[in-house]
Every structure is written in C-alpha cells, then in structure tokens.
Amino acid sequence: MKKNKQIANKENLVKSINKNIRSSTRKLGLILRGIVGKKVEQALRDLTFANQRICNEVKKTIQSAVASAENNFQYDIDNLFVKEAYCGKSVVMKRFRPRAKGRASPIKKPYSRLTIILSDKLKKSEDHGAKS
C-alpha cells in the first residue's frame, strides 16, 4: 500500500468520495463525462448553471476535493483540473406501489457513489512528428 500512496503523491492527486447520492449511475455518468479534463473553476461554473438536481451534489464533492488539496497538500487552486470522475452503484431502496386487483409493483430508488480525482499537474501535449 505504501507504494500506491507514494506514486499518488508524486502525481499530485487529490481524491474526494461521496458515498450516498440519490440518483442512478446512468444519470450521474452523463454529468461526469462533461467535467473530466476541465479546470476546476470551469467545471464548477458548468455545474452551477446546469439544470439537473444532482449537479449540486457533484459540485459539493468537487469543492470538498479542492478544499482538501488547498489545506492538506498546499496545492495551487488555479492549476487543479479534474483528472478522473466516475460513479458506481450503492444501495437500492425498494418500495411498492399499489396497483389494480390487489397487486403491487416494485419501485427501485437507486443510490450512487461518486469519486472525483483532481490533479495539480497541467496536461502535457505531445507533438507527433512525421516519420523520417
């Protein structure tokens, strides 16, 4: 485990995890695809003006990661960008809705867990030249 931590410190990574977001992973994934690779300021701005309800939860998680980067690791906030953002399944609340003739149909209310990884390094663009 120490090797993983040392490698993470060399790459200047900061991770923030939100374990209970009341939304499906399918809806959350659409939002996360839009913020990966962007600078933190731009990602927060995009989430502020988005219409989806869960954008507030994603925004809180990014702000938590930024605060952790600033306070615990003394990184410059202006250089931070979203390196990875992914979600996975968590618990599913199961409810029942009454239907006709005494039946019941299930309602599934899924929860997701969200992981945001910020990096301090700026992306280096590689120039590919022609073969000689």
Tell me the residue range of the domain where 58 lies.
20-119
Whether 125 is in a domain gets the answer: no
CA atoms within 13 A on the CB side of 23: 19
Whether 9 is in a domain gets the answer: no
Please answer whether residues 114 and 17 qualify as being in contact, where contact means their C-beta atoms are separated by less than 8 angstroms: yes
Q: SS3 of 68, please?
A: helix
Cα–Cα distance between 66 and 118 in angstroms, integer?
8
Average pLDDT, stretch 74-80?
89
Q: What confidence score (pLDDT) does residue 90 get?
A: 94
CATH number at residue 29: 3.90.470.10
Whether 10 is in a domain gets the answer: no
Based on the structure, what is the number of domains in the chain?
A: 1
In the sheet that holds 13-21, the strands lie side by side as 13-21, 104-119, 81-98
Whether 128 is in a domain gets the answer: no
Whether 55 is in a domain gets the answer: yes
The pTM (predicted TM-score) of the whole model is: 0.79
Res 32 pLDDT > 70: yes
Res 109 pLDDT > 90: yes
pLDDT tens per residue across span 48-68: 999 999 999 999 999 999 999
